[in-house]
Structure 1
Amino acid sequence: MKKCKRIFVIVIDSLGIGEMPDAERFGDAGTNTLGHISESVDSFEIPNLQKLGMANLTPLKQVKPLKEPIGYRGILREKSNGKDTMTGHWEMMGVETKKPFKTFTEHGFPKELIDELEKRTGHKVIGNKSASGTEIIEELGEEEIATGHMIVYTSADSVLQICGNEETFDLKELYRCCEIARELTMKEEWRVGRVIARPYIGKKKGEFERTSNRHDYALKPPVRTALNVLKDGGFDVISVGKIRDIFDGEGITEGHKSRSSVHGMEQTIELAETDFHGLCFVNLVDFDAKWGHRRNPKGYAKELEAFDQKLGTLMEILREDDLLIITADHGNDPTYTGTDHTREKVPFLAYSKSMEENGVLPEQETFAVIGATVLDNFGLSMPEGTIGTSLLADLK
């Protein structure tokens, strides 16, 4: 295949396709996000993903594998020690995380951290548990407004999140408190991947609504990634969704926040109609946040069907010198126990109108083949301290 001018890497957040060999160590034996979604619904129509060979990677009840899917298809294993958003995305761009980020899903944050946060911010902490962001605002928003207390919560990801009502807590004060939390959670035993400001508006239950003034305070990747090499090489590195936040802006030349996964695909389609030279890196978070964590396979299936329709539009407008890669960052089996991510393999679907052949790729031992393939396309090499080898020579 000839070198491409533009590459689109789309991450369907949490779309695992079967347990990793070490899944039992993570408590995730028998998980299969996509396969179990298919088993949970009567109807499941994903014709464009089917064309790309998704049903050839894991059995689906309603979707038949094709004899000759277009493009190339394969399965990626995660080499890093973890199953969270940052670990997965960082690995795609070459970072192997050997020491997992801290999560506090089961019991909330330790008393020592909360005490220090209260002392430094001047606000009493309420909440301190794993919860849905919208639900905890409904539960505690009125108390926060009345008392000036501060809602702190976490999730299955390595995050510390703070809610603040823009009209009473004040946005600047919320950001100040998050900056303090970020400083505190640099300590090794409290080290979370992200601190997130979650502002909202409204005066009482039923009226609360989160605003677009969310701000993420992420850790920077420990080494230069494929994104840094692309940017330094003069190429465009366009972020859609939370990619910029995941990499703390490192290696990003242009960022677009998304209101939803459908909106993220609409943004990607709009970008495909512009003339850029480099990478468009897309994260579609609703699959994980709205359906995986909330254990809703039917909602997940409908979201995949909506994605598939937008995918068809994108594929139509792709140019001859474009390459499309579809993958995921971890699993989140909506039929499994609890609300945590699941340790799963992920799909690798690659398609270009310029491809003359199609086929199956050998199973890869790391997500980092993605970043290495992107850099190889643009005549660049992975930076020192990273992992991953290119698959570009196999895409013909």
Structure 2
Amino acid sequence: MTTQPKRLFIIVLDSFGIGAEPDAAEFGDGECHTLQTILHSKEFAAPHLAHMGLFNIEGVDVGMRVEHPKAAFARLQEKSRGKDTTTGHWEIAGIVSEQGMPLFPDGFPKECIDALEKALGRKVLCNKPYSGTQVIHDFGREHIETGALIVYTSADSVLQIAAHNSVLSEEQLYEACLKAREVMQGPWGVGRVIARPFVGTWPKYTRTSGRHDYSLVPPVDTMLDALSKAGFSTIGVGKIRDIFAGKGVGRHIPMDGNEDGMEKTIAVLDEDFTGLCFTNLVDFDMKYGHRRDIDGYAHAATVFDRQLGTFCERMKKDDILMITADHGCDPGAAGTDHTREYVPLLVYGEGIKAGVDLGTRPTFADVAATVAEMFGVELKTPGTSFWSKIKH
């Protein structure tokens, strides 16, 4: 294999944490260990991840280690002040956020709501942290009767706008979220503004698959920008385009859930390109972590592992695969919030030295630094490349 790979695939298992970071208490977390929690479920079986070295990672004192891991492996520590999707992905891509994105545990301040109502041309309802399914149950009828929009937040740095399709079409809701994104800057600069369309009649309202996220634009270039500017392909599967506000993402492939996302990523293996395919599998977090569904999370990991086997069989000799995560969301922890955890890193391919233990890396940004060195592109990042340690 040449020094430079032809194709790199990075798959983010959204919220797949592997144990509390030392500062977890500062983020409101006690003991948390997403992997340990799901490992005890009868629904969990992940032989491919195990053979790659998932349970050989430093500090992962659960599961069965294998004698000859097929991948290089590491534990990554988040250096940014956050435990959310945007912060985690930005750090993977090379940006360390010294300040966490703003949170609004008591709802948004009056000045913010006034500015939103002026921009949207409508009153807003709720303005509290809320479950996304419960908020449409509790405020849906008033929303439909008055036309006021349901605005709420969560433990994450988000502003969410829910609207029934009879009040705003999905396209109109997206336009409203773009206006809200312009308002939500500076001290109100949440990581994401999220459109939450729903349908049905009370009490059986249901959210549609038309969710759309509007992220802050990354303040500096990421590995995606560096690759794009150098002429390499950058493909985002799932939420990647939204997380980076489209910056540096050359092509977007939408997906409908984890299984579909993996199928779409497997299909990309049949394409001829040189560069990066970056995939986010959101179901772990959205459907199971936040809802504290241990068996659901474990089953999703099992399904992913099965698809991972297919993916690896179809990899070409100059392909490289990285599997990692962006934060934790322990389904066995109290509450519904993300958890401040280390995340795994597995690096696999014919051109990678199997069984290399990279220990604990001090920042997710080491991934970006490594990607930059792999492809010979320039990137300013606090991360440190480990490419020389793992390449054949």
Residue 389 of structure 2 corresponds to which residue in structure 1? 394
User: What is the Cα deviation at residue 267 of structure 1?
Assistant: 0.6
Find the partner of 1:200 among 194, 198, 207.
198
CA deviation profile, 1:329-381 (whole Å, cap 9, x unmatched): 01111111111111111101000023354221121101011111112111112
Residue 90 of structure 2 corresponds to which residue in structure 1? 90
CA deviation profile, 1:35-54 (whole Å, cap 9, x unmatched): 12223x23521011111111
Note if 1:281 corresponds to 2:278: yes
Residue 329 of structure 1 corresponds to which residue in structure 2? 326
Q: Write the distance in 2 (CA, Å) between the matches of 1:253 and 1:116.
A: 34
User: What is the Cα deviation at residue 81 of structure 1?
Assistant: 1.1
Q: 1:138·1:208 contact (CA, 8 Å) conserved in 2?
A: no
User: What is the Cα deviation at residue 263 of structure 1?
Assistant: 0.9
SS in 1 for 2:361: coil
Q: Write the distance in 2 (CA, Å) between the matches of 1:268 and 1:211.
A: 20
Note if 1:114 corresponds to 2:113: yes
Q: 1:199·1:210 contact (CA, 8 Å) conserved in 2?
A: yes
Instruction: Compare 355-364 and 18-27 and name the one that shifted more.
Output: 355-364
SS in 1 for 2:321: strand
Instruction: Compare 290-299 and 27-36 and name the one that shifted more.
Output: 27-36
Structure 2 counterpart of 1:303, one-letter code: A
Query: CA 1:11 to 1:357, structure 2 compared with 1: closer, same or farther past 3 Å?
Result: closer
Note if 1:269 corresponds to 2:271: no
Q: Write the distance in 2 (CA, Å) between the matches of 1:356 and 1:74.
A: 13
Q: Write the distance in 2 (CA, Å) between the matches of 1:316 and 1:132.
A: 40
Residue 6 of structure 2 corresponds to which residue in structure 1? 5
Q: Write the distance in 1 (CA, Å) between the matches of 2:203 and 2:270.
A: 42
SS in 2 for 1:206: coil
Residue 170 of structure 1 corresponds to which residue in structure 2? 169
Q: 2:196·2:207 contact (CA, 8 Å) conserved in 1?
A: no
SS in 2 for 1:362: strand
Note if 1:154 corresponds to 2:149: no
User: What is the Cα deviation at residue 167 of structure 1?
Assistant: 2.8
Q: Write the distance in 2 (CA, Å) between the matches of 1:65 and 1:32.
A: 17
Q: 1:53·1:69 contact (CA, 8 Å) conserved in 2?
A: yes
Structure 1 counterpart of 2:386, one-letter code: L
Q: 2:73·2:345 contact (CA, 8 Å) conserved in 1?
A: yes
CA deviation profile, 1:2-30 (whole Å, cap 9, x unmatched): 43100000000011101112112212232
**Structure 1: tracts of 5 or more residues without a match:** none
SS in 2 for 1:245: helix
CA deviation profile, 1:43-88 (whole Å, cap 9, x unmatched): 521011111111222133xx41111110111111111111111111
User: What is the Cα deviation at residue 292 of structure 1?
Assistant: 1.0
* Identity across the alignment (%): 47
TM-score by length of 2: 0.94
SS in 2 for 1:354: coil
Q: 1:134·1:210 contact (CA, 8 Å) conserved in 2?
A: no
Q: Write the distance in 2 (CA, Å) between the matches of 1:289 and 1:31.
A: 18
Query: CA 1:255 to 1:316, structure 2 compared with 1: closer, same or farther past 3 Å?
Result: same
Instruction: Compare 16-25 and 264-273 and name the one that shifted more.
Output: 16-25
Structure 1 counterpart of 2:204, one-letter code: G
Q: Write the distance in 2 (CA, Å) between the matches of 1:370 and 1:54.
A: 17
Q: Write the distance in 1 (CA, Å) between the matches of 2:35 and 2:74.
A: 15
Q: How many residues align?
A: 388
Q: Write the distance in 2 (CA, Å) between the matches of 1:44 and 1:50.
A: 12
Residue 191 of structure 1 corresponds to which residue in structure 2? 189
Q: Write the distance in 1 (CA, Å) between the matches of 2:353 and 2:331.
A: 37
Residue 101 of structure 1 corresponds to which residue in structure 2? 101
Note if 1:368 corresponds to 2:365: yes
Note if 1:292 corresponds to 2:293: no
Structure 2 counterpart of 1:333, one-letter code: D
Aligned CA RMSD, in angstroms, stands at: 1.7
Q: Write the distance in 1 (CA, Å) between the matches of 2:169 and 2:44.
A: 45
CA deviation profile, 1:213-232 (whole Å, cap 9, x unmatched): x3322111111111101001
Q: Write the distance in 2 (CA, Å) between the matches of 1:34 and 1:44.
A: 10
Q: 1:73·1:360 contact (CA, 8 Å) conserved in 2?
A: yes
Q: 1:201·1:211 contact (CA, 8 Å) conserved in 2?
A: no
Q: Matches of residues 237-248 of structure 1 in structure 2 within 5 Å?
A: 237-248=234-245
Q: Write the distance in 2 (CA, Å) between the matches of 1:170 and 1:286.
A: 25
Structure 1 counterpart of 2:115, one-letter code: E
Q: Write the distance in 2 (CA, Å) between the matches of 1:86 and 1:204.
A: 33
Residue 335 of structure 2 corresponds to which residue in structure 1? 338
Q: Write the distance in 2 (CA, Å) between the matches of 1:148 and 1:97.
A: 38
Residue 308 of structure 2 corresponds to which residue in structure 1? 311
Q: 2:123·2:149 contact (CA, 8 Å) conserved in 1?
A: yes
Structure 1 counterpart of 2:191, one-letter code: G
Q: Write the distance in 1 (CA, Å) between the matches of 2:206 and 2:74.
A: 43
Q: Write the distance in 2 (CA, Å) between the matches of 1:23 and 1:54.
A: 22
CA deviation profile, 1:138-182 (whole Å, cap 9, x unmatched): 333232222211111122221111112233323454234323322
User: What is the Cα deviation at residue 119 of structure 1?
Assistant: 3.5
